[in-house]
Amino acid sequence: MAKQVDLIQGTLDLLILKAVSLGPLHGYGILLRIQQISQDRLEIQQGSLYPALYRLDHQGWIASEWGESENNRKAKYYRLTAAGRKQLQAETAKWNKMTEIIGGILETVPEEL
Amino acid sequence: MTLGARLGSWMRAMRDRSRMEGEMEQELRFHIESCARDLAKQGVPREEAIRRARIEFGGLEMHKEECRASLGLRIWDEFFGDLRYALRMMKQSPGFTLVAVLSLALGIGANTAIFTLAKAVLLETMAVPHPERLRLLTYAVKPEFNISGWGSWYRNDAGEMVGTPFSYRTFREMQQHQQAMEDLVGFKDVYKLTATIGGEAEALDGELVSGNFYSSLGARLIAGRAIAPADDMQAAPAVAVISDAYWARRFGRSTDALGKTIGVNRVPVTIVGVNAPEFHGAKANGTPELFLPISLQPQVIPDRQGSLLSRDNFWWVLMLGRLKPGVTDQVAQEALNASFRNAIRPAYPGKRDNDLPRLVVGAGRRGLDQMKGQYAKPIYVLMGAAGLVLLIACANLANLLLARASVRQREMSVRMAMGAGRLRVMRQVLTESLLLALLGGSAGLVLGIAGQNIIPDLFEASWRTSSIRGEFDWMVFTYTLGITLATGLLFGAAPAWRSTKADLNAGLKETGRMTSGSGRALLGKSLVVFQVALSVMLLAGAGLFLRTLVNLKSTALGFNPERILLFQLDPPRTRYAGKQRTALFQQIEERISTLGGVEAATASAEPLVADSMDNGCFRPADRAPRAGRQDMAYANSVGSRFFETLGMPILYGRGFTAHDNQTGPKVAVINQRLAKDFFPKTNALGKTITTCSGGTPASFEVVGVSADAKYDSIRNDVPPTIFMPYLQDDDAGSMTFEIKTAASTASVAAELRAAVRSVDKDLPLLEVRMQPQLIDATLSQERVFATLTGGFGMLALILAGIGIYGIMAYTVSRRTNEIGIRMALGAQARGVLAMVLKETSVLALIGVAAGIGAALGVTRLVASMLYDVKPDDPLTFVSAAGLLVIIALASALTPARRAAGVDPMQALRHE
């Protein structure tokens, strides 16, 4: 159980960083953007988005600021910080490497051994 | 990496918690509303949209909690929650809280005070850089090797004499011919220098130091300059550095003091500098106030036989040095020993190297450390006793908390049924214990600081300022915090662990009172047995120390100390030398005898029962020296009215008269013990005794035999003693005057001062005190022990009483049902009462037996501190045991009565 949660959590963090790297967004906006980019193929538990946002904010990778929403409501906007940009690059590189390795392993056929 | 960011965000959240909560609420609500609006746009009715948005979002409170955890707030929330709950629990049972905090405060306070003392006496290093590399040079030598000198020597376990003083020449030679140490400094503590400023004389302690003392040790000054090598020359102008305390007391810390000239034993000396407050010279726990170059010795403290600086076989200077970095003690010792042998060989021609002293590099981080030997053992014993008290308090609290835990069984079961983890429940119970411990610890710290000087003051004589300075600092604080936390964990561990062992089903179903668990009662009972055992140990120790004090106080002295006023004169040799001294003493003795309010006055070289004595070789003139045995006797030069003033009866012959002076024949009075020693079967009167200490022998005719009386200490047996009239001495050292006063001593003391001043206005009266006060002071250690261990014992008794009451009350309430059945079946109230008391007795007796066993092992260690009582004294042990059994039964009486008063009908219906 624990491992699976970790993995999802890690992934969610990466997705959030990516989403806000494209421009400041509020929490609901981040959710919409991820769903939009993934073409609704990812199921995200809405409430669990916020603990992840608070954690990233706590670590200094994203920063928050209150602003006006599209329909003139007060909303908390998140943007990527410099540290967050580095983190995003590092995480992306790690992810790519990981998928490459795992992919390689999974595509192995008997003859190649 | 992100530590800074995390800390910043956590601080922000902590600082403005309500704003953070408000913003979180607003942010999450915005999300749900936005989501609902989007749903509404797709045509879902508004009510339904909000409902679905909420469902999709998930548990709002749960996510909030997760957000708080993300910010690192959760653990604090829980902690504060626990704290609030703990405070509420404490408020609910103020009696329990009071007992807990008070017993901990006393236990921790005692430990803090004793640790402060231990730190000052055992740990505090000299206030100079790199004290860890400081070494004091000592040497060991066969006892046959004759060293004359000034200082202290003792016999080590190997039978060698060990000493610290060297001759001045040895110091200078070694200083120049050694490479192991950075440098060697020489010093000597001197006492009771007469310092005169503006016609007012005061007695001060001082330290003679070599010219490189300050520069080499690196001691700090706060004003002026240090003593420099150029000051340590024969023709150099006389200078002095004064202590901060003296500077404050005498000059109000004014810089005018620098350049002032004071008379030191009548030698004019210019003050050039002031030591930093933390620097107290090279002797541990010493309080020298005047630091003088060692070259001033011949002027300031002249010796009868000439300058000590040029006497090559007179050993008196102490040597201290800092090891060069990287040099081991072993290497240094070898190098210094070679240098030492080369330095002393010329003074001891014909001695083989094997017979010469062997240099030993000794500990020096505290400088010359005589305190350690004197106080180390008493302090360890006190620390042990204080530790026992704290342990008893811990056992007591653990027991009370266990009983309380059983009452809270239901609460814990509910907590765990609702999902609290074991660790979480344990943490909560531990928070409660630690809170109690911290409250007790804070109170204990206050008590400890307030009382830090009580123990040193008890040790010291009442007319002298304490030389042991207990100082509160971070080390004491850390120690107290450490024992506080350890205490909290110790008494909290068992209840915390117990609380998680709850059987949920049983805990929820049954009433708290009825929970099963003989294990818990067993644990509680073991704790009580443990507590009783420790209390017996403490009480037995207290009893032994109390008996020691009583025995010492009731020991026959052989003289009457009542209304005897003492003061000492030590006229500077620069003014009074040789026969001038005895003449001065006689003049003063006569002058004060005539004062009103004085019944009789006399003087003696050594005061009685003051831990000081003079001894030498004496022998009956008609007897040859006995092989392998020295004829030793304690000697005292006394005034003509010594025996009548002190009420020491003359059994045969006569005492001294004014005619026993320089012109008359030399006479002596000996005590019974010496008469029996020297003249076993004959009449001692008229016999002759000669000295045999070397030099020209002197002969004395025995004119009287006095009754035996204590000499140097109450603890020691009456020594064979010989008294001589000081008027027949060629020279005298300091003299103590004994004055039998008629009534009020305060007015007499003022008259005495005036009388002495009329003879010489520059003579300060030293150590003015009453003889009983002096005797009391020599018992200070015994009194400290009797007082402290007695106090600890009382505390232990009270705690044992509380502990036994607690466990029996708990047992009875747990067994109400069973007792009801017994009574319903015909048991009498008296039988039930007896049953409870019997159970208590069993507990108490097991504890007492264990305690006596342990005490027998431990009290042997303090045997040397006892007087006239064996470490296994049956009376003491039986009393301690009896006292505890009585306290146990008295404490169990209330619960026993309650048990006897159980109404069977009610108890059974309770089920």
pLDDT tens profile B777-813:
888 888 888 988 999 999 899 989 988 988 888 888 8
d(CA B81, CA B99) in angstroms, rounded, equals 24
Asked if the Cβ–Cβ distance from A51 to B66 is below 8 Å, we say yes
| Closest-CA distance of chain A to residue B6, Å | 5
Phi, psi (degrees; rounded to nearest 5) at B151: 150, -160
Other Cβ atoms less than 10 A from the Cβ of A104: the count is 9
Of B33, B56, B67, the CB nearest to A54: B67
In A, which residues are within 8 Å of B6 by CB distance?
A: 58-60
- Which amino acid, B376? A
Q: Name which of A54, A57, A64, A81 to mutate to probe chain B: the one with the most chain B Cβ atoms within 10 A of its Cβ.
A: A54
Contact A50 B63 (CB under 8 A): yes
CA–CA separation, B773 and B377 (whole Å): 25
Among A52-56, B223-227, B872-876, the minimum mean pLDDT is found in A52-56
Pick from B2, B6, B63: CB nearest A51: B63
Using an 8 Å CB-CB cutoff, list chain A residues near B31: 26-28, 31, 46, 50
Which region among B5-19, B134-148, B699-713 has the lowest average model confidence (pLDDT)?
Answer: B5-19
Cβ of residue B75 closer than 8 Å to a chain A Cβ: no
- Looking at residues B839-858, what average pLDDT do you find? 93
Cβ of residue B57 closer than 8 Å to a chain A Cβ: yes
B38-52, B296-310, B491-505, B581-595: range with lowest mean pLDDT: B491-505
Q: Which two tokens stand for residue B76?
A: 């604090």
pLDDT band at B194; cut points 50, 70, 90: confident
CA distance B874 to B459: 29
- Measure B853 CA to nearest chain A CA, in Å: 55
Query: Angle formed by the axes of helices B74-92 and B422-450, to 10°?
Result: 60
Nearest to B772 by CA among B733, B751, B741, B748: B741
Chain A touched by B59 (CB under 8 Å): yes
Is pLDDT at B271 greater than 80 in this prediction?
yes
* B34/A47 Cβ within 8 A: no
**Residue of B442, B503, B645 whose CA lies nearest to B563:** B645
List pLDDT tens digits, range B813-836: 888 888 888 888 888 889 999 999
Alpha helices for chain A (secondary structure H): 2-21, 27-37, 49-58, 82-107
Strands (E), B210-254: 221-224, 239-242
Six-digit token string for B641: 């009215």
Average pLDDT over residues B859-884: 92
Distance from CA of A3 to the nearest CA of B (A): 18
Interface A:B, Cβ pairs < 8 A? 77
What's the predicted TM-score (pTM) here? 0.75
Q: How far apart are CA B848 and CA B530, in angstroms?
A: 9
d(CA B196, CA B203): 9
Q: Which of B369, B538, B466 is nearest to B117 (CA)?
A: B466
> What is the spatial distance between Cα A80 and Cα B635, in angstroms, rounded to a whole number?
95
The pLDDT value recorded for residue B745 is 67
Helix (H), strand (E) at residue B749: helix B745-759
**pLDDT (mean) for B628-645:** 86
The proportion of chain B whose per-residue pLDDT surpasses 90, expressed as a percent, equals 45
For residue B305, is pLDDT > 90? no
At residue B198, the pLDDT reads 79
Question: Strand B261-264 to strand B181-197: parallel, antiparallel, or no bridges (unpaired)?
Answer: antiparallel
Cα(B657)–Cα(B640) distance, rounded to whole angstroms? Answer: 5
Contact between B27 and A27 using a beta-carbon 8 Å cutoff: yes
Q: Measured between alpha carbons, how far is B131 from B133 in angstroms, rounded to an integer?
A: 5
- Output B303-308 pairs: Cβ under 8 A, ≥24 positions apart: B303/B573, B304/B573, B304/B577, B304/B578, B304/B731, B308/B150, B308/B168
B25 — contact with chain A (CB < 8 Å)?
no
**Cα-based distances in Å from B501 to B416, B504, B790:** 10, 9, 40
B62 touches chain A (CB under 8 A): yes
Phi/psi-derived region of residue B185, left when phi > 0, alpha when psi is between -120 and 50, beta in every other case: beta
pLDDT at B503: 63
Q: How far apart are CA B488 and CA B434, in angstroms?
A: 5
Other beta carbons within 10 Å of B697: 13
Greater confidence, A84 or B7? Answer: A84
**Domains of chain A: residue spans and CATH:** 2-112 (1.10.10.10)
Evaluated on CA atoms B109, B115, B119, B120, the torsion sign reads positive
Comparing alpha-carbon positions, the chain A residue that sits nearest to B69 is: A51
Closest chain A residue to the Cα of B63, Cα to Cα: A47
Q: Do B2 and A51 touch (CB under 8 A)?
A: no
Distance from CA of A103 to the nearest CA of B (A): 32
Contact A78, A63 (CB under 8 A): yes
Task: Tell me the C-alpha distance between B226 and B293, whole Å.
Answer: 10
Burial, B109: exposed, middle or buried (Cβ in 10 Å; 0-12, 13-18, 19+)?
buried
Query: Which of A28, A50, A60 has the CB atom closest to B67's CB atom?
Result: A50
Rounded to the nearest integer, the mean pLDDT of chain B is: 87
Q: What are phi and psi of B251, to 5 degrees?
A: -120, 5
Distance of CA B237 to the CA centre of its chain: 42
Q: Which residues of chain A approach chain B closer than 8 Å at the C-beta?
A: 26-28, 31, 45-48, 50-52, 54-55, 57-61, 66, 69, 71, 73-76, 83
Q: List all residues 6 or more positions away from A18 whose beta carbon is below 8 Å from its beta carbon.
A: A88, A92
Q: How far is CA B472 from the centre of its chain?
A: 14
B153-155 and B161-163: which strand pairing?
antiparallel
Q: Is A51 within 8 Å of B23 when comparing Cβ atoms?
A: no
The mean-pLDDT minimum among B50-64, B843-857, B884-898 falls in B50-64
| Lowest-confidence pick of B155-159, B444-448, B649-653 | B155-159
**Helix/strand/coil for A103:** helix
Q: Is B712 exposed, middle or buried (0-12, 13-18, 19+ CB in 10 A)?
A: buried
Spatial CB neighbours of A90, under 8 Å, sequence gap ≥ 6: none
Residue B346 corresponds to which tokens in the numbers above? 């010329």
B422 touches A: beta carbon within 8 Å: no
pLDDT value of position B361: 93
How buried is A83 (Cβ within 10 angstroms: 0-12 exposed, 13-18 middle, 19+ buried)?
A: middle
SS3 letters across B555-581: CCCCCCCCCEEEEEECCCCCCCCCHHH
Model pLDDT for residues B524-544, shown as the tens digit of each residue? 888 889 999 999 999 999 999
CB contact under 8 Å between A47 and B62, yes or no, is yes
Which residues lie below 8 Å from residue B530, measured CB to CB, with a gap of 6+?
B395, B847
Task: Quote the longest CA-to-CA distance of chain A.
Answer: 63
Judged by CB atoms closer than 8 Å, whether chains meet at B67 and A74 is answered as: no
Sign of CA dihedral B171, B175, B181, B185: positive
CA-to-CA distance for B19 and B22, rounded, in angstroms? 5
Q: Give A-chain residues touching B36 at CB under 8 angstroms.
A: none
